[in-house]
Amino acid sequence: MQDQAFTDDFRTQFDLLMRLRRDVRRFRTDPVDEAVLTRCLDVFRLAPSVGLSEPWRVIRVESKAARDAALKNFQAENEQALSGYSGEKAQLYSQLKLSGMKEAPVQLAVFCDDATDKGQGLGAGTMPEMRRYSVVSAVTLFWLALRVEGLGLGWVSILDPDRMARDLGVPGTWRLIGYFCVGWPEELSDTPELEQVGWESRGTTLPVEVR
Amino acid sequence: MQDQAFTDDFRTQFDLLMRLRRDVRRFRTDPVDEAVLTRCLDVFRLAPSVGLSEPWRVIRVESKAARDAALKNFQAENEQALSGYSGEKAQLYSQLKLSGMKEAPVQLAVFCDDATDKGQGLGAGTMPEMRRYSVVSAVTLFWLALRVEGLGLGWVSILDPDRMARDLGVPGTWRLIGYFCVGWPEELSDTPELEQVGWESRGTTLPVEVR
């Protein structure tokens, strides 16, 4: 045991956190305490970012107009996605609940500012997508922080990202990373809903090759 | 307190984990126990992935030839990056240690298979980059799992991703997400090295706007 390691008890709970983190689409409608939400959002500032560019930009979607526009965006793209399947797969897809946008008390559109000067481009010269990846890392930490509090997050990606950016009136250099529903999950599970309903299952091994 | 929340003690330790996660570039050269590494890699299988596509592909870079090629790739791109700065910034950049590739006992090149059929494209129609984001989320969980064990991870992105893919002979549909150095960190810190040396500092607030 190295002296910089966390305790065995923490490791056990951390493993449980990994197993119970879910993409949540079924939320209760009761509100989220603002102090708890703020505490969870604070982990963004502890997230890794390329060159310390901190390119994350968060829009809290609160107004009826903004939520309606986001929901319409999802509904249009989800219908389009359904039309790409046929037979049993289409039948199954049509029954999936792929967002909690009608119920989730907190909704966030998270963007990456591709043009930020912060960090002076360090680490993002050959792979400018690193800025977007930084935002994804931050969202992943936020996801875990929410789960620690008992809250759930659902990542909605069945959206036209340009339409979302236009509807929210954000700068042209901002790229949508995801639309996030946050709230109290209806239930807790160690199995993804897509696996429960038979859409797809998780692999049993990690593909690792050696060179 | 909601009944699905973790304990206060866990929350305190989780907060510490967030604060002590670092991008590590200074490693000790002593080996990493295989069982510990396997345990950490196992969190990939618990990571979120769009449509359960699990698009992550891991290459463990072990041979001298493969490591030399990766190091040369980094050195060439780092020199190129340096030439983009001038004056004090160039002076500072030239003194930065931006990878632990010469010392880290474990090195992984992680790719996203953009063409995987797994998940049948669910959630990735309008935002196909979601597959790459899934890999980033998985890497972020792996990063934390390593830190729980006392291990460090360094994300190297100053690389020509196409050259890396060619050098490692991976399929053409695989896109490099990052090259990762893993090992025992020389020291523990709650402050990013780029902040310590004055390259850039972290913000004190998270930018949140309301719509």
> What number is the average pLDDT over the span B22-39?
96
B105 touches chain A (CB under 8 A): no
- Of A119, A130, A109, A121, the residue nearest A179 (C-alpha): A109
Token pair belonging to A96: 């999936």
Q: Is the pLDDT of residue A5 over 90?
A: no
The answer to whether position B44 is within a domain reads yes
Token pair belonging to A55: 């390119």
Paired with B100 in beta bridges are: none
pLDDT of residue B5: 80
The answer to whether position B2 is within a domain reads no
The answer to whether position A201 is within a domain reads no
| Chain B residues within an 8 Å CB radius of A137 | 136-137, 139-140
> What number is the average pLDDT over the span A88-99?
96
> What number is the average pLDDT over the span A131-146?
98
Q: Is the pLDDT of residue A79 over 50?
A: yes
The answer to whether position B114 is within a domain reads yes
Contact flag A133-B57 (C-beta cutoff 8 Å): no
pLDDT in tens, A176-195: 999 999 999 999 999 999 99
Q: How far is CA B93 from the centre of its chain?
A: 21
Residues 44-83 (B) with a CB less than 8 A from some CB of A: 44-46, 48, 50-54, 56-63, 66, 77, 80-81
Are B51 and A199 a contacting pair, CB within 8 Å? yes
The answer to whether position B17 is within a domain reads no
Mean model confidence pLDDT for chain A: 96
Paired with A58 in beta bridges are: A110, B208
Q: Is the pLDDT of residue B67 over 90?
A: yes
At residue A163 the predicted structure's pLDDT band, cuts being 50, 70 and 90, is very high
Determine if the pTM surpasses 0.95. Answer: yes
CA angle B119, A100, B4 (to 5 degrees): 95
Q: Is the pLDDT of residue B3 over 70?
A: no
Separation between Cα atoms, residue A195 and residue B63, nearest integer Å: 38
- Of A159, A154, A157, the residue nearest A193 (C-alpha): A154
Nearest-CA residue of chain A relative to B168? Answer: A211
Task: Please state the ipTM of this predicted complex.
Answer: 0.97
The answer to whether position B199 is within a domain reads no
Token pair belonging to A190: 């160690």
The answer to whether position B99 is within a domain reads yes
pLDDT of residue A1: 43
Provide the shortest C-alpha distance from residue A157 to chain B (in Å).
6
Separation between Cα atoms, residue A51 and residue A122, nearest integer Å: 5
Separation between Cα atoms, residue B132 and residue B112, nearest integer Å: 6
pLDDT in tens, B109-123: 999 999 999 999 999
pLDDT in tens, A116-132: 999 999 999 999 999 99
Number of separate domains in chain A: 1
Separation between Cα atoms, residue A123 and residue A125, nearest integer Å: 6
Contact flag A144-B10 (C-beta cutoff 8 Å): no
Residues 176-205 (B) with a CB less than 8 A from some CB of A: 176-178, 184-185, 188, 192, 194-195, 199-205
In terms of residue numbers, what domain contains B153? 23-185
A105 touches chain B (CB under 8 A): no
pLDDT in tens, B84-100: 999 999 999 999 999 99
pLDDT of residue B4: 74
Among A126, A148, A184, the residue with its CB nearest the CB of B159 is A126
Q: Is the pLDDT of residue A56 over 70?
A: yes
Nearest-CA residue of chain A relative to B76? Answer: A126
> What number is the average pLDDT over the span B38-67?
97
Separation between Cα atoms, residue B144 and residue A209, nearest integer Å: 22
| Chain B residues within an 8 Å CB radius of A6 | 13, 16-17, 147-150
How many A×B Cβ pairs under 8 Å? 270
Among A130, A148, A211, the residue with its CB nearest the CB of B14 is A148
How many percent of chain A have pLDDT more than 90? 95
Mean model confidence pLDDT for chain B: 96
Contact flag A2-B150 (C-beta cutoff 8 Å): yes
Provide the shortest C-alpha distance from residue A115 to chain B (in Å).
15
At residue A204 the predicted structure's pLDDT band, cuts being 50, 70 and 90, is confident
Among A5, A132, A139, the residue with its CB nearest the CB of B148 is A5
Strand (E) or helix (H) holding A10:
helix A8-20
Contact flag A192-B150 (C-beta cutoff 8 Å): no
CATH number for A169: 3.40.109.10
The answer to whether position A140 is within a domain reads yes
Token pair belonging to B182: 């893993």
Contact flag B161-A127 (C-beta cutoff 8 Å): yes
| Chain B residues within an 8 Å CB radius of A177 | 133
| Chain A residues within an 8 Å CB radius of B60 | 208-211
Separation between Cα atoms, residue A146 and residue A132, nearest integer Å: 21
Q: Reduce the secondary structure of A138-176 to three states and give it as a string.
A: HHHHHHHHHHHCCCEEEEECCCCHHHHHHHHCCCCCEEE
